[in-house]
Structures are given as structure tokens and as C-alpha cells.
């Protein structure tokens, strides 16, 4: 049974970092397990089936996660995103989401998924209180999806997209990591899709991150180039962002488009100065920046000194450690990455 907790933050205990950024967004990686083996997430050895996984005892329990979220919400967190790995493969996730949505002061619970299980769980997610979903899909060609993910899964993912649209999820965001010589010839196809369907199609610059050895400068394609290509299809009309729209710059491709386009530019136009997020990895460590390896071991706190004050102090320590910027520019021309955490564990 999950116990309720009525934690109240002491006066003045706000989540503001050393650079006056207010932290209001917590990303929870529920598991490092995934039903795909995407080329930019795992190494070549792991893609062949050698992916090491955390033991069950190494994951935070749902009760531990709920306790952390309650403390964090009392301190100023208003938005939580569930990531993985693939969050829908963790047993009991729907019950956890229901409990999460009962936390007073938590305004926004979202999920990022590869979409493979979305057709199966879409209605239950909606009933549990999730109406906003990000779906990772890097190609509209089944054989290419299989090459990128290691699994023949396009049909399952697309059924998931159709399911959440039919159920009325909004927004539904489709994330494409744009990679030169791999899928950049589909940029215009993705852009056209936003004219037909009420999706936000988001183009994300390929980042040198994690243990994967697949990144190199020749694969990188900038947002400016992506936008220039899409501009050949019609006018890109800039839209005002909502409070919880995140780092994407949002446009509509023509006045009559059913959906929108989003552009996320961590390399060419970084958004570090307005970053409002904190990550809790599936291994139970707090990470204040996706691209920095410094972490606070919250799992040890929860299992050795499990008080609300100790949780609060761990959160504040992580936020004090938040760097001014990610310095990704220095990595742009390197082959590989010096950010060593694996994406399936950190949470995308």
C-alpha cells in the first residue's frame, strides 16, 4: 500500500539554482529497461543483446519515487515527465501514475515513450490522468526504423500514434532526432505530416551523449539547416510558446496546418540560460544537467537516512551543482562523447 505524505517545505526553501534559474520540472527515469536498442542510446555491443540492466533492488521503488515527488512538489516542482528506458515496460506503472496524479500541487504529468506499447496502454494512461505524450520516431519507413531501433516496430508505433490522437491526447509530440546520411532525407516528409495531423513534429539535433559510440560530427545537422529545408515547403509561422512547452521553438507550416513544428537545438542554439529541469535517473541519482556526469546519490539517502529533510537537502545539493551551461560546443567536432551516462539509465 502506498502511504500518503503531507510534506510541507519550510519557508524560503525554494528550488532556485546559483544562476537564478527556478527549477520546476522533474524528469523521472522509471527503468533502464527498453524493448528497443536505438543506435544513439546503446553501444554497438549492447545493440547485439549485451545490454546490462539494473537489478530490481537497484531501482527506486514506486513508494520511494512518490515520496521524492511529494517533497519536490512542496519545494516548487509543478511538472513531472516519466521517461526510461521505456517507462511502459515497468510493471505497475499505471497504478504509480494514478498515485502521482493525486499529489496536490503537481499540475502536469507527462510521459515520453517509444510508442511500441502505446496502443495497448493509451486508454489506461488517459484514465490514469496522462493527456500529454511525447513519442520517439526517427523515420516513417519501416525498414529504416528497424535499422535505427534494432526492432521491426514501425507498425506498432504508428498504431500508438493513431490511438492517442483518437483518444484526444493533446499535445501529442513526435520526436525525430535528425541525423545526416541516416534519416535527414525524411525531414520534409515529417514536416508535411504536421500539415495533415494535429501533432507537434519536433526536430532534435543529434547530441554527443551517453555511452553510444555512434555520434560523430559528420552525422550532425543543425536546426538552421533543417529549417532552411522545410522553408522550401512554405512559410514557417512562429507561434507563442505556452508555459510548459519546454525548449522547442514552435512554428506552423502554413496557416491551414493541422499541427505544428518544434525545433530543439541543444548544440546550435542552446537553452541553458532558461533550463528549469532536474533529472532522477533509474539508478536513483539526481542529475542537474543531462550533459554533466556529476550526480547526487538519492537512493543512498532514501535507504540510509529516509527523512523528508534529507531528501530535501539532496534535491538542493543537486540544484546547487547545476552548471551554467553544458559546453556541448566543445564536443561538436569530437568523435564520440565524454558524457558517460547511458541514456537508457539517465532518461531521455
pLDDT in tens, 188-244: 999 999 999 999 999 999 887 655 546 678 899 999 999 999 999 999 999 997 766
Residue with C-alpha cell 559510440? 213
**In the prediction, which pLDDT does 327 show?**
64
Beta bridge partners of 200: 173, 260
pLDDT at 23 over 90: yes
Most confident of the ranges 8-17, 95-104, 339-348: 95-104
Beta bridge partners of 110: 81, 132
Alpha helices in 278-326 (DSSP H): 298-304, 308-320
**In the prediction, which pLDDT does 329 show?**
61
**In the prediction, which pLDDT does 215 show?**
64
For 26, phi then psi, to 5°, come to -115, 125
220 in a known ligand binding site: no
115 in a known ligand binding site: no
pLDDT-based confidence at 12, cuts 50/70/90? very low
Cβ neighbours, 10 Å, residue 258:
12
Please answer whether residues 230 and 194 qualify as being in contact, where contact means their C-beta atoms are separated by less than 8 angstroms: no
Rounded to whole angstroms, how far apart are CA atoms 50 and 52?
6
Q: Please name the residues in contact with 137: beta carbons below 8 A apart, sequence gap of 6 or more.
A: 115, 145, 157, 161, 174, 175, 176
**In the prediction, which pLDDT does 305 show?**
82
41 in a known ligand binding site: yes
Q: Who wins on pLDDT, 345 or 186? A: 186
Fill in the DSSP letter of residue 41.
T
Q: b/e per residue, 191-229, with b = 16+ CB within 10 A?
A: bbbbbebebbbbbbbbbbbbbbebbeeebbbbbebbbeb
Average pLDDT, the chain: 88
Please answer whether residues 205 and 138 qualify as being in contact, where contact means their C-beta atoms are separated by less than 8 angstroms: no
54 in a known ligand binding site: no
For 243, phi then psi, to 5°, come to -60, -35
278 in a known ligand binding site: yes
Residue 142 φ/ψ region, left for φ over 0, alpha for ψ in the -120 to 50 degree band, beta for the rest: alpha
Rounded to whole angstroms, how far apart are CA atoms 35 and 38?
10
Summarised one tens digit per residue, pLDDT across range 137-168 is: 999 999 999 999 999 999 999 999 999 999 99
70 in a known ligand binding site: no
277 in a known ligand binding site: yes
132 in a known ligand binding site: no
Answer whether the bond into residue 171 is a cis peptide, omega within 30°.
yes
**In the prediction, which pLDDT does 6 show?**
41
C-alpha cell belonging to residue 155: 507498425
Rounded to whole angstroms, how far apart are CA atoms 84 and 115?
12
173 in a known ligand binding site: yes
Rounded to whole angstroms, how far apart are CA atoms 82 and 282?
11
Structural domains in the chain plus CATH codes: 25-346 (3.20.20.70)
Query: Residue range 125-148: average pLDDT?
Result: 98
50 in a known ligand binding site: no
**In the prediction, which pLDDT does 292 show?**
77
136 in a known ligand binding site: yes
Rounded to whole angstroms, how far apart are CA atoms 43 and 50?
9
Q: Could you give the strand order of the β-sheet that contains 25-29, starting from the edge strand earlier in sequence?
A: 236-238, 249-253, 260-264, 200-205, 172-178, 132-136, 108-113, 79-83, 25-29, 277-280, 285-287, 295-297
Residue with C-alpha cell 553544458? 326
84 in a known ligand binding site: no
Q: Does the global pTM surpass 0.85?
A: yes
Closest C-alpha among 79, 78, 97, 98 to residue 87: 97
85 in a known ligand binding site: yes
Rounded to whole angstroms, how far apart are CA atoms 218 and 206?
11
Amino acid at each position: 500500500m502506498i502511504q500518503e505524505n503531507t510534506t510541507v517545505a519550510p519557508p524560503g526553501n525554494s528550488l532556485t539554482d546559483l544562476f537564478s534559474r527556478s527549477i520546476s520540472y522533474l524528469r523521472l527515469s522509471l527503468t533502464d529497461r527498453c524493448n528497443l536498442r536505438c543506435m544513439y542510446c546503446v553501444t554497438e555491443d549492447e545493440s547485439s543483446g549485451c545490454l546490462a540492466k539494473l537489478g530490481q533492488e537497484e531501482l527506486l521503488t514506486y513508494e520511494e519515487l512518490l515520496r521524492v515527488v511529494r517533497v519536490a512538489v512542496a519545494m516548487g516542482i509543478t511538472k513531472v515527465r516519466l521517461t526510461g528506458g521505456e517507462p511502459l515496460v515497468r510493471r505497475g506503472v499505471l497504478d504509480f501514475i494514478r498515485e502521482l496524479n493525486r499529489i496536490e500541487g503537481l499540475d502536469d504529468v507527462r510521459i515520453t515513450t517509444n510508442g511500441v506499447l502505446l496502443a495497448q496502454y493509451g486508454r489506461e494512461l488517459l484514465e490514469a490522468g496522462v493527456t500529454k505524450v511525447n513519442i520517439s520516431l526517427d523515420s516513417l519507413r519501416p525498414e529504416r526504423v528497424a535499422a535505427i531501433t534494432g526492432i521491426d516496430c514501425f507498425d506498432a508505433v504508428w498504431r500508438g500514434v493513431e490511438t492517442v490522437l483518437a483518444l484526444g491526447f493533446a499535445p501529442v509530440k513526435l520526436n525525430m532526432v535528425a541525423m545526416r546520411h541516416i534519416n535527414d532525407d525524411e525531414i520534409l516528409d515529417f514536416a508535411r505530416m504536421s500539415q495533415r495531423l494535429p501533432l507537434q513534429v519536433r526536430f532534435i539535433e543529434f547530441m554527443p551523449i551517453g555511452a553510444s559510440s555512434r555520434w560523430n560530427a559528420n552525422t550532425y545537422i543543425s536546426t538552421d539547416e533543417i529549417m532552411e529545408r522545410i522553408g522550401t515547403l512554405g512559410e514557417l509561422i512562429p507561434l507563442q510558446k505556452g508555459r510548459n512547452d519546454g525548449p522547442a521553438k514552435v512554428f506552423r507550416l502554413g496557416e491551414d496546418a493541422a499541427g505544428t513544428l518544434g525545433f530543439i537545438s541543444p548544440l546550435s542554439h542552446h537553452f541553458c540560460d532558461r533550463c528549469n529541469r532536474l533529472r532522477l535517473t533509474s539508478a536513483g541519482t539526481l542529475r542537474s544537467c543531462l550533459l554533466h556526469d556529476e550526480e547526487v546519490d538519492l537512493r543512498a539517502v532514501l535507504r540510509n537516512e529516509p527523512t523528508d529533510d534529507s531528501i530535501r537537502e539532496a534535491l538542493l545539493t543537486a540544484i546547487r551543482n547545476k552548471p551554467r551551461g553544458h559546453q556541448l560546443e566543445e564536443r561538436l567536432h569530437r568523435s564520440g562523447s565524454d558524457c558517460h551516462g547511458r541514456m537508457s539509465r539517465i532518461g531521455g
